[in-house]
Amino acid sequence: MTGRETDGRLGAEFFTPGTSSFTEFLAAHRPELLITRRVLPDGVRADPERTPHGTTVLALTYRDGVLIAGDRRATMGNVIAQRDLEKVHPTDDHTAVAFAGTVGIALDMVKLYQVELAHFEKMEGAPMTLGAKANRLAGMIRQNLGQAMQGLAVVPLLAGYDLTAPGGGRGRIFAFDVAGGRYEKSGFHAEGSGSPYARGALKKLFRTGMDRREAALAALQALYDAADDDSATGGPDIGRRIYPIVSVITEEGFERLPETETEELSHEMVRQRRTRPDGPAAEV
């Protein structure tokens, strides 16, 4: 609640015509509730060894839509802070966000973004277009610029299924920088400390027209390559049965692959790596 009244009634701000943006509403009436507006005092900088950070996340398009995935590790310096962090979150029926960066701020930003999209749809009677959703997320990242410059950066990855795309629906991927710059990516993209290795793997594995299983295996192979060269990225933990999160967005909506399916694909990938440690070769 943002109203300051104590008699149980909503404040006048709830009945005043204004923006359909929930974040702008909070900024006008209760700015202290916006995590992205809080800046550390002058001269204070976050210590990366005391703040959990998450890596690596990726997305790729496939025949039926778009796939988005992430490893499960969060680190504080050289310490593993969490082994089963969830970095992939649905934000509405046809979009999802995965994040790299400061975990606490990222999780709050994802929750606020979920409310932002739901609030807009209730106010306007229709959902935002996918491009507008990307622009709105870019604005929220821009609000966090002060904290990002002090070491508390969040770098999300947005994937969605565009129901209004010319010629029929299709999967789309949007990347962002810490200043809120928005960049649409073609085919695939990855973010986080292991992203150079994940993108390198996807360059050789990605092809148009893949089915869901092929796309999921390509994502798992890319995350494995990231974990192989980046200590902050976690590979499949067979002993603890902790596997990357893999989700897809199609015309039917968002779906997280069942744990049993992700486990089976992870075991298949590990078996392949025993005979080919560097991963599958690119198709000629």
Would you name the residues annotated as active-site residues? 55
What SS3 state is found at 153? coil
Helices (H), 47-102: none
> H/E/C letters for each residue in 15-62?
HCCCCCCHHHHHHHHCHHHCHHHCCCCCCCCCCCCCCCEECCEEEEEE
* Peptide bond just before 56 cis, omega within 30 deg: yes
How would you list the strands of the sheet with 65-70, edge to edge? 188-191, 57-62, 65-70, 245-250, 253-256
H or E stretch including 2? none
Nearest in space to 191 (alpha carbons), one of 154, 228, 137: 154
**142 vs 96: CA distance, rounded Å:** 19
Backbone angles phi, psi at 184, to 5 degrees: -85, 135
